[in-house]
Amino acid sequence: MSQETIIELIVEVILFLTASYFIFYKSWLKSLGKEIAKLSTAKDLTTIQESVKKDFKESIESYKSQLSEEVQTKIEPLKAELAKQNLSHQIQFSFLHQERAKVIVELYKKLQELQSAMADWTKFMHPIVEDGDKESEERAQRANNALFDFKNYFILNKIFFSEEFCKPIEDLIQVYWDKGWDFGYAKNRIKEGDLPHDYFKEYSKRLTEISKELKELIPPRISDIESLCREILKVEEK
């Protein structure tokens, strides 16, 4: 039974009660008028008034009792249906919250991996363990994989969240994308060699700026996202 149907039934009950009351009251007035027309003395009028009042009171009490039983009969199924719908809503909300919590935990892990990979890739200097070029390529590949993994997972699960929650994440993805593209382009141009001194200097400067931006500007934005996650998960500080 839908909520609209329940509301319609309640309105019907109220209209039924109102109409019944006025029909009964109108009938009583008509009966009273007939009795008054037969009276010839003030004493008879007083007697009939008291008698009619008594009868009317008894009739009202009886009618109220009857209406109460009828209303109870109509209301009980409505109350049961409302309770059923409320329970169904609670179960659905509980399931949604559990699923969303799983998504948030996984999304947070992927975000931390993305930040770690990007920061490592864009560091100004790296120790060489065995093969510098190979290790540099692995760092670039890790950052690239982390970005696509985070972005794809977010897109597939953003339906769980409000636009207010999604907006800062979408903005952060765009920042990572832009910085990653700029860093990769500048790094490749330097690696290719044969650059005029001014170009080499400009690209080197850009690499340093991107590394600094990822270390200093991104963490506060991640902290803001963490706060939104805690709100959704109902994490309470003690």
Which pLDDT does position 100 carry in this prediction? 85
Task: Write out residues in the chain with pLDDT < 70, as ranges.
Answer: 1-53, 55-56, 58-95, 97, 236-238
Contacts 24+ apart (CB under 8 A), 211-216: 211/119, 211/122, 211/123, 211/124, 211/183, 213/179, 214/115, 214/118, 214/119, 214/122, 214/179, 215/119
Please give the Cα distance from 21 to 31 (Å, whole number). 16
Q: What is the pTM of this model?
A: 0.59
pLDDT tens string 56-86:
676 666 666 666 666 566 666 666 556 555 5
pLDDT digits 0-9 by tens, 188-208? 888 887 778 888 888 889 999
